[in-house]
Amino acid sequence: MIAILGAGSLGRLWAAKLPAGQVAFVPRPEQPVEPLAYLFRPLQGPDVSVQIPWLTDVQSPSLLVVTTKAGDTLNALKTLVSRLPETTPIVLFQNGLGSQQRVAETWLNRPVLAATTTEGANRPADRLTVHAGQGETWIGALTPAGEAQVPKTVSTLAKSGLSVQAESDILNRLWQKLIINAGINAFTAILNCPNGEILNHPFYQQWIDPLCYEISELLTASGQPPRTPTALREAIETVARKTAANTSSMRADRLAGRPTEIDFINGYLARLGAEHGIDTPVNQMLTYQVKQLERIS
């Protein structure tokens, strides 16, 4: 049995794509016993009716997929990990950085893995989950115990039909996604626009170069492969153009009145700068502005 902690868009995508009867969602306290029912809209073909049961106390999952928001992950796992066999892999699908390290440090002797994905999923209605874009998923170990579990975990999740690959340097993969999120998400939340519309906005044009300078310095300080500010801006804007009509997860959170993951994206970069003695005024400003929007909503 594959257990999924987090029944949002990404969790529902994996639940719908993995073989029927082999998946259960981890229930919240006082969760109704009825299975979670929703329509799933694949990239091609008609909508599919999906029913996913809730994990029971007597079931022992062979794999735990964690798709909660970054800020919720550690506390959500604290109530669950003690029920898991010590050999059960825990695969973290969180945005940004910071939450993954906290989990790995808390359960250093368990097989903790991280995943990063470019699969697109959204929920335009409560009972509808849409597979909005085909992508790739990379999985790698965060703890020594996780190393041996990577091949089996990749094989298990590949039964979904999605593209899943092992990654020996998962931290670098997470950094690459962090760079893109740091250069797009906060701007879309502040400007309240789809990804592509930020590119011509004066606010974005004013701050993107100094932001990329900060990220370039932080990459080097963190021991990651160096990248110039110009290369970082090109990478960010390539993704913004390819996903021009998309709403970022941060903008979606803002529109829905939910807490964002800014603390694990630009906020993480600001904290990292403080640790290394690197000034990060743009990351601090973006973090502050998004948090102000959270308070208003």
| Secondary structure tally for the chain: helices H, strands E | 10, 11
Query: Taking a C-beta distance cutoff of 8 angstroms, is the pair 68, 49 a contact?
Result: no
Catalytic residue selected from 69, 177, 242, 291: 177
Q: In whole angstroms, give the CA distance from residue 6 to residue 29.
A: 13
Q: In whole angstroms, give the CA distance from residue 251 to residue 190.
A: 8
Contacts of 55 (CB under 8 A, 6+ apart): 1, 3, 24, 25, 26, 27, 61
Q: In whole angstroms, give the CA distance from residue 128 to residue 135.
A: 20
Name residue, tokens 């941060």: 250
Contacts of 248 (CB under 8 A, 6+ apart): 181, 184, 185, 188, 189, 195
Residue 177 annotated to the active site: yes
Task: Name the DSSP letter for residue 34.
Answer: S
Catalytic residue numbers read: 177
